[in-house]
A and B are shown apart, each in its own frame.
Chain A
Amino acid sequence: MTGVPLRTAARAVALLAAVGIAREAYFHLVSEPAWHLLDRRAPRAEERYRAVRAALPASGRIGYVSDEPVSARPGVLESDEWGTWLYQSAQYALAPVVLVVGEAGTDPVLANVKEPERLDAVARAHGLRVERRFEGGRVALLRR
């Protein structure tokens, strides 16, 4: 045997390609239908931070506190990814400001909470007060 004839390979590729394309079509037409593209689109994470970005300094380091734990050490994962997702989406939106997890000594400090009703407790826990709320109290600037 010196090789596989092109026609034989073509038949095999045709079959595999048909299966692969059918899988893609299922995903885009059935699982996540393309015709619901605009009405079911999730809001961009950074929309949550648009207003607070305007209130923050353009650069530098800002303390970051939350009501959800953040996975901050390699190999040690928190029970869910909410806190880490909140931190990462805030960092993505607010770059080049550096958000420092657990740091409450900067002025101001950014609070980013999953549940707005926990905001005041988060501020008190770090000896801070809420100065300004955004997004219905899910994001806030805290000061001493």
Chain B
Amino acid sequence: MSAILAAAAVAISGAAASSFAPVRGAFRAALAVLFGVGIWSAGYSVALFAFGADPRVRLAKDALLVAAGAAVVAWRPRGAALAGDAVGAPSRDAPRWPAYAVAAAAVLATALFVEHTVRVPDGGWDAWAIWNLRARFLARGGAGFRAAFSPEILFWAHRDYPLLVPGAVAQAFLLARSESPWVPAAVSSAFAAAAVALLGAAARELRGPGWGALAALALLSTPCFVGFAANQQADVPLAALLLAACALTAIAVESGQQGALLGAGFAASLAAWTKNEGTLYLACLAAALLATRWAPLRERVRGLLRFGLGALPVLALVAWFKLRVAHESDLFAGASSSRVLDAARWGELLAAVLRRIVYFQDWGLWLVAEIAVLAILLPRLPRRPAARAIGTALALALALTMVVYVLQPHPLLWFFRASIDRVLIQLWPSALLATVLLLAPQSAARTSPSSGAAAEAAGASPSPQTRANDR
């Protein structure tokens, strides 16, 4: 009974939250999965801290999610405009093989995921030392669940990390009455599958079916993607939620339907509830929304307010958690400005970054190709506002991450090698989306009446401000 209610809570709350996004089909379905699991987990944390670990609290929480979600689904008007209405039938010139290749790659990825899970059932080091450890504390601790945040546990457990993944896994442990390693593996696989589906669907919605298949294939064939998913860490869930935020931002920028920014803000806030980096990414996306000239300043400010409104509920939870439960981070223990001003430290980091670009084991040739595209094609292609907004956010996030690397107290190279691939996989699906948005020709019908791209496509500008913004 409780498992059925929990499944209904995930499905209905996800359907309700995704109904605010002006998208359909696989795009909406993938959003519903991400939003559903995110709401279910965030709701668990709220209920746990506010009312305790009694099973009846979880039941009441799930019942409330079902009721509220059903009310929203019933209340939402049918037939609202879809941002992807302009996407037509596949072009006759579009090759069909990418779709078949995606299907084959998905089957292979599933097999590799299962193989890796059998080989390493508890996941990667961070999975059992942080994420599944926290889930066990929450699931086993009962009324004493706050032991999960004891300052006496070594800092390696990162008690300051937010709880989206452990919250979902802990509830699944309790529902299954088992701590089988297949439980966190299932949660992890759901996020990975949603990331692939969302990337393919978003690229399809924005640039057509051929590009959707290519984007999905690119992600599935990135060597470290399946491994990180099977490692049961929070990086792939964070990647999926950041991708959702970026995809909805692109929809808003290109279609002019700023309502999508509510969903973008919500997705970004769930990313912030997944990992500390998520808060940084949220801030970077917000900054890029304001700084990138995709509309007149007034509209951009309005868009930013919508983004913030969507982020507000979960961001409030993140803020409360950071202020009241877990306010210490080992990354900033003993941080000093002298590290940032240390040229040798920056040189060491730069050399490590350059080596990582050609790190074949995890990335094949994908990072090299991405940099080649940016270096060779970026200056020659038209400035597409959505690609610029996402690209600016990702570049800003990467730049600030480098500052964190220099600031943090651990030996620089050791810490870099231990974490950089996970940071990159968090950003990678969104980078692939931005790359497709940059490379693929943009249909005039897909552009927003208020966007600079629309003005370009129409050969005129709606306002001098917009025209100036697009230069």
Residue positions of A touching B, CB distance < 8 A: 1-4, 6-7, 9-10, 12-14, 16-21, 23-24, 27-28, 32, 34, 37-38, 41, 44-46, 59, 61, 70-75, 77, 84, 87-89, 91-92, 95-96, 98-101, 103
Cα(A124)–Cα(B380), bound, Å: 73
- Interface status of B374 (Cβ within 8 A of chain A): no
Chain A residues closer than 8 Å to B221, beta-carbon distance = 16-18, 20-21, 24
Chain A residues closer than 8 Å to B112, beta-carbon distance = 24, 28
- Chain A: CB-nearest residue to B331: A74
Q: Which listed residue, B98, B101, B129, B214, touches A92 by the CB 8 Å rule?
A: B129
* Total inter-chain residue pairs, C-beta < 8 Å: 166
B405-432 interface (Cβ within 8 A of A): 409-411, 414
**Would B105 and A17 count as touching, CB distance under 8 A?**
yes
Chain A residues closer than 8 Å to B91, beta-carbon distance = 6
**Would A1 and B381 count as touching, CB distance under 8 A?**
yes
Chain B residues closer than 8 Å to A46, beta-carbon distance = 122
**Would B211 and A74 count as touching, CB distance under 8 A?**
no
**Would B101 and A14 count as touching, CB distance under 8 A?**
yes
Residue of A3, A38, A103 with most chain B CB atoms under a 10 A cut-off: A3
Chain A residues closer than 8 Å to B28, beta-carbon distance = none
What would be 16 A-B contacts, judged by CB atoms less than 8 Å apart?
A: A3-B382, A4-B381, A10-B98, A14-B97, A21-B105, A23-B364, A27-B223, A32-B119, A37-B118, A74-B333, A84-B156, A88-B129, A91-B157, A95-B140, A98-B147, A98-B150
Chain B residues closer than 8 Å to A96, beta-carbon distance = 136-137, 140-141, 144-145, 147-148
**Would A98 and B152 count as touching, CB distance under 8 A?**
yes
**Would B439 and A9 count as touching, CB distance under 8 A?**
yes
**Would B128 and A45 count as touching, CB distance under 8 A?**
yes
- Interface status of B469 (Cβ within 8 A of chain A): no
Chain B residues closer than 8 Å to A28, beta-carbon distance = 112, 115
**Would A3 and B441 count as touching, CB distance under 8 A?**
yes
- Chain B: CB-nearest residue to A32: B119
Chain B residues closer than 8 Å to A99, beta-carbon distance = 153
Would you give the shortest CB distance from B383 to chain A, in whole angstroms? 12
- Chain A: CB-nearest residue to B368: A16
Chain A residues closer than 8 Å to B122, beta-carbon distance = 44-46, 92
Chain B residues closer than 8 Å to A61, beta-carbon distance = 150, 152
Residue of A13, A46, A75, A87 with most chain B CB atoms under a 10 A cut-off: A13
Residue of A21, A89, A91, A100 with most chain B CB atoms under a 10 A cut-off: A21
Would you give the shortest CB distance from A82 to chain B, in whole angstroms? 13
**Would A1 and B115 count as touching, CB distance under 8 A?**
no
Cα(A92)–Cα(B93), bound, Å: 54
Q: Which listed residue, A45, A89, A101, touches B154 by the CB 8 Å rule?
A: A101
**Would A77 and B223 count as touching, CB distance under 8 A?**
no
B340-362 interface (Cβ within 8 A of A): 360-361
**Would B226 and A92 count as touching, CB distance under 8 A?**
no
**Would A37 and B381 count as touching, CB distance under 8 A?**
no
- Interface status of B369 (Cβ within 8 A of chain A): yes
Chain A residues closer than 8 Å to B364, beta-carbon distance = 16, 19-20, 23
**Would B440 and A6 count as touching, CB distance under 8 A?**
yes
**Would B95 and A10 count as touching, CB distance under 8 A?**
yes
Given A17-B218, A88-B154, A92-B129, A59 contacting B115 (CB threshold 8 A): no
Given A1-B380, A38-B118, 5 new contacts (CB under 8 A)? A20-B364, A71-B154, A88-B125, A92-B129, A95-B137
Would you give the shortest CB distance from A73 to chain B, in whole angstroms? 8
Would you give the shortest CB distance from B450 to chain A, in whole angstroms? 21
Chain A residues closer than 8 Å to B319, beta-carbon distance = none
Cα(A12)–Cα(B27), bound, Å: 25
Would you give the shortest CB distance from A30 to chain B, in whole angstroms? 13
Cα(A4)–Cα(B442), bound, Å: 10
Would you give the shortest CB distance from B227 to chain A, in whole angstroms? 8
Chain B residues closer than 8 Å to A88, beta-carbon distance = 125, 128-129, 133, 154, 156-157
**Would B410 and A41 count as touching, CB distance under 8 A?**
no
Chain B residues closer than 8 Å to A14, beta-carbon distance = 97-98, 101
- Interface status of B155 (Cβ within 8 A of chain A): yes
Cα(A44)–Cα(B118), bound, Å: 11
- Chain B: CB-nearest residue to A59: B144
Chain B residues closer than 8 Å to A3, beta-carbon distance = 381-382, 439-442
Cα(A14)–Cα(B220), bound, Å: 12
B83-100 interface (Cβ within 8 A of A): 91, 93-95, 97-98
Would you give the shortest CB distance from A106 to chain B, in whole angstroms? 11
**Would A59 and B141 count as touching, CB distance under 8 A?**
yes
Would you give the shortest CB distance from B27 to chain A, in whole angstroms? 20
- Chain A: CB-nearest residue to B333: A74
**Would A74 and B152 count as touching, CB distance under 8 A?**
no
Would you give the shortest CB distance from A16 to chain B, in whole angstroms? 6
Chain A residues closer than 8 Å to B118, beta-carbon distance = 37-38, 41
Chain B residues closer than 8 Å to A4, beta-carbon distance = 377, 381, 439-441
Q: Which listed residue, A24, A38, A41, touches B223 by the CB 8 Å rule?
A: A24
- Chain A: CB-nearest residue to B151: A98
Would you give the shortest CB distance from B286 to chain A, in whole angstroms? 28
**Would B441 and A2 count as touching, CB distance under 8 A?**
yes
Cα(A95)–Cα(B421), bound, Å: 29
